[in-house]
Amino acid sequence: MAVRFRNDRKKWFAQITTETGRVSKSFDTETEATEWEALALSAMAPKVKAHERPFSATGEGSLGQLVRVCEQIDWAGKDDSQMKNAHRLVRMLGPDTHIRELTMRRLDDLVADLRVAGPKGEPLSNTTILKYISAASIMLKRATRLGYIDQPPLLPEKRTLRTPEPRDLVIPDEWFAALLDGMEKREQRLSIAITLFLRHMGCRVGEALNLTWDRIDMKQGWVQFVKTKGSMPRRLPASEEVLSILKAMKARKTQRVFPIRYWTYLTHYSDAKHDACDALGLGDTVRKEWVIHTLRHTRITELASQGHQAPAIQQWAGHKCLAVTQRYIHGAGINLQPMVNC
């Protein structure tokens, strides 16, 4: 599912996958293609959800019942990717399995099994396994609140999974300009606006895509993020550049500030990134580490380099603990040269 510009036909193409196959359509503008994709996927949503909920004969405290509860409380109004992972997890463990049976030992065995073969019979990477563990964590916390278990078991990521290497890449202005050039050549105006917004605000991409106009005050000049990772809402001041971006998006008259699906933006971003790497002669290591989150990391690192204190940066970034902020900063702005001859 993506919206792409084809140079050979000078048209925008939107494509979705249905139960009977793929459906694509061409348009003159990116906006028309994006809106058609959103409407088509919205029309398909009831069928997809019905297909994703095969847990009708489950008792109280079962994994099947907890999925439905989490859908209504924890995942309501959010991206449904974690919910889909939860459905796959429940199918593997059994919908009638009681949450009490999801012990530390059972989770460790699950990780070992997924390393050998996942739902499609292929070994899963640590990144994919962690997505299942994250879904299980939400269900365990909800079960604790409902009184089905006294406390959730220890999760396996720190015991049986390798800690992922931090992505410390900070992109210079030249790289960022090349990234925008790649989107400009494809006339991806909406993706350019999101990229600029992420670069200036340093927010997560999900926070930007979930942003609605009732969370923005153009007169006072602030942006409020409510649907955040770790439930850490915050209100941030907006610069003149950000207000200019928001003013242009306001003219579209849509409920969401950036009316585009994540996968469409990811496709645009990845294509532009590879174009930039080709133009700048950057290697495979940079291609791998240069992700959407790099925009956020770059902004947070810049704040540290400018001399802002860690507690203030923590509040800006919406980190739950100061240790996470320190990891992002990784010594930014500290001059180590005087220590050489000590």
Between these two residues, 59 and 53, which has the higher pLDDT value? Answer: 59
pLDDT score recorded for residue 48 = 42
Task: State both tokens at 196.
Answer: 């600029």
pLDDT score recorded for residue 47 = 46
Q: How confident is the model at residue 51 (pLDDT cuts 50, 70, 90)?
A: very low
pLDDT score recorded for residue 40 = 78
User: What's this model's pTM, rounded to 2 decimal places?
Assistant: 0.62
pLDDT at 163 over 60: no
pLDDT at 176 over 80: yes
pLDDT score recorded for residue 50 = 40
pLDDT score recorded for residue 49 = 45
Strands 11-18 and 21-27: antiparallel
Looking at domain 55-164, its CATH architecture is Orthogonal Bundle (1.10)
CATH number attached to the domain at 1-51: 1.20.5
pLDDT score recorded for residue 141 = 93
Number of CB atoms found within 10 A of residue 288's CB: 10
pLDDT score recorded for residue 181 = 96
Average pLDDT in the chain: 84
Instruction: Domain 173-329: give its CATH superfamily.
Output: Intergrase catalytic core (1.10.443.10)
* Fold agreement between 1-51 and 55-164: no
Portion of the chain with pLDDT greater than 70, in percent: 85
**pLDDT tens per residue, range 90-133:** 988 889 999 999 999 999 888 888 888 887 778 888 878 888 88
Query: Is 94 buried (19+), middle (13-18) or exposed (0-12) by CB count in 10 A?
Result: middle
Q: Which of 160, 124, 154 is nearest to 137 (CA)?
A: 154
Domain boundaries in the chain?
A: 1-51, 55-164, 173-329
pLDDT at 303 over 80: yes
**pLDDT tens per residue, range 4-29:** 887 777 788 888 776 666 778 888 88
Q: How confident is the model at residue 230 (pLDDT cuts 50, 70, 90)?
A: low
**pLDDT tens per residue, range 239-273:** 999 999 999 999 988 889 999 998 899 999 999 99
pLDDT score recorded for residue 341 = 57
pLDDT at 338 over 60: no
